[in-house]
């Protein structure tokens, strides 16, 4: 099979283990990959999976003014390509609807990608259908290499319909990881209907069943409080401000301690909010951790919680991978009914779910779960069974292998 060039927004990134897992899965399935990223890494840590991926990685100029000679050399070279005129016309059609430095940056990055294209790569696959797919679309027009795209969550819901329609019209196919995202993209795909649903799933060998016994903590012992865990970036769509409000409303007689794992721009503000609410002493902020440390926290905790929401610009989670990870370890989940969460979790069956933006309802669900260890065990067992039977990442790799093979066969 031909080498696939995979275009990423940033690499490696702690918050995108699902992408790293997919890259490793494709390599294990026999694909040869080369990675290109639009941003250099900013995380201080790496997950073990990043070190297992064999593919080389190189970087486009994140900002055109940082590497002007590289950009100028690329533009000089790609101007001679047969498809450059088509790409330029597409850019000029797009520009009036998105007059921004970002639009110019994407065209310049596409020129660098096309100019420095490795001769042995015969396909372009891109993660995220917003800005990375803009680069892929222009580059594909320039060099004539077919392209495909994996869409996820924010990239679908914060992109204008006109742009999604264009990209779905030009891409060979698109794949996305939730039913709600699939329905949205199918609505915009027109007659092509070239969108496919494939859940990321987990590498279940990396997340084997937790063999330890879950604690019967019920929040009645101040010396051994119930352990609440959340893993996620401190960004608005995760709803951590709502979660803190809910924690502050838990009954006074409940003993609990909350651990947050993750980085994010809102961490300082959230810590200040916790202090204002009088719960700062009952919270530990761990910052970013690698996957091995996160796994141990899943096993040591009593319940997992996220307060996902839809933000004003439409941003939202799909099905947060950390919730699937938590469920794989028999850790019960309390969350909201946003987006793809309800595609794995069902309120009262294998989790407790409430409407978003409702700290009172979230507090009630948390209190119920804290007080009832038997309920936690029952719900968690059902969720873990569903993960292990329906969310194995090997299914997603098989889907991608089938899609790539069909596309190449059509070309030949």
Query: Tens of pLDDT along the chain (412 residues)?
Result: 579 999 999 999 988 999 999 999 999 999 999 999 999 988 888 888 999 999 999 999 999 999 999 999 999 999 999 999 999 999 999 999 999 999 999 999 999 999 999 999 999 999 999 999 999 999 999 999 999 999 999 999 999 999 999 999 999 999 999 999 999 999 999 999 999 999 989 999 999 999 989 999 999 999 999 999 999 999 999 999 999 999 999 999 999 999 999 999 999 999 999 999 999 999 999 999 999 999 999 999 999 999 999 999 999 999 999 999 999 999 999 999 999 999 999 999 999 999 999 999 999 999 999 999 999 999 999 999 999 999 999 999 999 999 999 887 777 6
- Determine contact, residues 152/127, Cβ cutoff 8 Å: yes
pLDDT of residue 1: 56
Strands 226-231 and 303-305, by their bridges, are parallel
What pLDDT is attached to residue 387?
98
Give the pTM. 0.92
- CATH for 250: 3.40.50.2000
Residue 327 has which token pair?
Answer: 């469920």
List strands edge to edge, sheet with 352-354. 283-287, 256-261, 226-231, 303-305, 333-336, 352-354
Domain shared by 196 and 279, yes or no: no
Count of domains in the chain?
2
In a domain, 216, yes or no: no
Query: In terms of domains, do 49 and 69 share one?
Result: yes
Answer yes or no: are the C-beta atoms of 29 and 401 closer than 8 Å.
Answer: yes
Q: What is the C-alpha separation between 278 and 79, in angstroms, rounded?
A: 62
Structure tokens at 36: 């290109």
7 contacts 38 by C-beta, under 8 angstroms = yes
Q: Three-class SS string for 4-48?
A: EEEEECCCCCHHHHHHHHHHHHHHHCCCCEEEEECCCCCCCCCCH
**Domain residue limits at 265:** 226-390
Residue at 209 is within a domain:
no
269 located within any domain: yes
- Look at residue 360 and tell me if it is in a domain: yes
Residues 178 and 140 in one domain: yes
Q: How many helices (H) and strands (E) in the chain? A: 16, 13
| Contact between residue 58 and residue 39 where contact means Cβ atoms under 8 Å apart | no
> Is 218 part of a structural domain of the chain?
no
Q: ω before 65 within 30° of 0 (cis)?
A: no
| CA nearest neighbour of 328 among 204, 228, 213 | 204
Distance, in Å, from the CA atom of 13 to the CA atom of 20, rounded to the nearest integer, reads 9
Q: How far is CA 182 from the centre of its chain?
A: 15
168 with 286, same domain: the answer is no
Same domain, 19 and 168: yes
* Chain position carrying tokens 């329905």: 183
Residue 407 neighbours by CB under 8 Å, 6+ apart: 123, 146, 148, 172, 173
Task: Verify that 152 and 15 share a domain, yes or no.
Answer: yes
Contact between 370 and 219 under an 8 Å Cβ cutoff? The reply is yes
Cα distances from 80 to residues 61, 66, 113, in angstroms, run 21, 24, 15
Nearest residue to 185 via CA among 167, 210, 202, 212: 167
> Are 178 and 285 within one domain?
no
- 261 located within any domain: yes
- 103 and 241 both lie in a single domain: no
CA distances from 400 to 150, 230, 267 (A): 10, 31, 36
Q: Are both 12 and 110 inside the same structural domain?
A: yes
Cβ burial 152-163 (10 Å sphere, 16+ → b, else e): bbbbbbebeeeb
Q: Residue 412 has what pLDDT?
A: 64
> What token pair was written down for 295?
């796994």
- 3-class SS of residue 296: helix
pLDDT for residue 45: 81
Residues 6+ apart with CB under 8 A from 102: 131
Q: Are residues 337 and 399 in the same domain?
A: no
- Using CA atoms, how far residue 227 sits from 220, 258, 369, in Å, is 12, 6, 11
Specify the pLDDT at position 409: 78
In a domain, 221, yes or no: no
**Same domain? 193 vs 232:** no
Residue 207 covered by a domain: no
Same domain? For 385 and 396 the reply is no
Q: What is the DSSP letter of 97?
A: G
Q: Which of 31, 42, 43, 39 is nearest to 5 (CA)?
A: 31
- Tokens representing 93 are 């059609």
* CA–CA separation, 53 and 391 (whole Å): 22
The two three-digit tokens of residue 313, written as one number: 């610009």
Contact 38, 109 (CB under 8 A): yes
């Amino acid at each position: 099979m031909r080498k696939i060039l995979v275009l990423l927004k940033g690499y490696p990134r702690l918050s995108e283990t699902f992408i790293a897992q997919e890259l490793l899965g494709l390599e294990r399935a026999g694909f040869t990959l080369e990675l290109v990223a639009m941003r250099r890494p900013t995380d201080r840590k790496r997950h073990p999976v990043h070190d297992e991926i064999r593919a080389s990685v190189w970087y486009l100029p994140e900002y055109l003014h940082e590497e002007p000679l590289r950009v100028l050399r690329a533009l000089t070279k790609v101007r001679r390509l047969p498809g450059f005129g088509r790409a330029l016309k597409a850019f000029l059609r797009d520009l009036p609807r998105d007059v921004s430095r970002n639009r110019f940056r994407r065209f310049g990055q596409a020129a660098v990608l096309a100019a420095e294209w490795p001769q042995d790569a015969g396909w372009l696959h891109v993660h995220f259908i917003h800005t990375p797919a803009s680069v892929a679309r222009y580059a594909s027009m320039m060099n004539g290499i077919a392209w495909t795209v994996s869409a996820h969550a924010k990239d679908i819901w914060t992109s204008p319909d006109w742009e999604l329609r264009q990209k779905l019209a030009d891409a060979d196919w698109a794949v996305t990881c939730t039913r709600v995202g699939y329905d949205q993209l199918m609505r915009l795909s027109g007659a092509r209907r070239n969108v496919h649903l494939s859940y990321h799933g987990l590498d279940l060998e990396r997340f084997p069943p937790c063999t330890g016994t879950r604690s019967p903590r019920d929040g009645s012992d101040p010396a051994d409080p119930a352990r609440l865990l959340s893993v996620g970036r401190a960004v608005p769509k995760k709803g951590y401000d709502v979660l803190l409000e809910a924690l502050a409303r838990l009954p006074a007689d409940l003993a609990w301690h909350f651990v947050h794992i993750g980085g994010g721009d809102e961490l300082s503000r959230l810590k200040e909010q916790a202090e204002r609410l009088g719960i700062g002493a009952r919270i530990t902020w761990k910052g970013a951790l690698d996957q091995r440390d996160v796994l141990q926290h899943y096993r040591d905790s009593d319940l997992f919680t996220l307060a996902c929401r839809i933000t004003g610009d439409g941003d939202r989670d799909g099905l947060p991978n950390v919730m699937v990870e938590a469920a794989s370890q028999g850790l019960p989940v309390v969350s909201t009914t946003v987006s793809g969460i309800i595609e794995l979790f069902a309120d009262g069956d294998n989790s407790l779910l409430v409407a978003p933006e409702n700290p009172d309802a979230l507090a009630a669900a948390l209190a119920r779960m804290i007080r009832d260890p038997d309920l936690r065990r029952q719900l968690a067992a059902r969720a873990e069974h569903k993960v292990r039977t329906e969310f194995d990442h090997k299914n997603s790799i098989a889907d991608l292998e089938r899609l790539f093979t069909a596309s190449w066969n059509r070309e030949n």
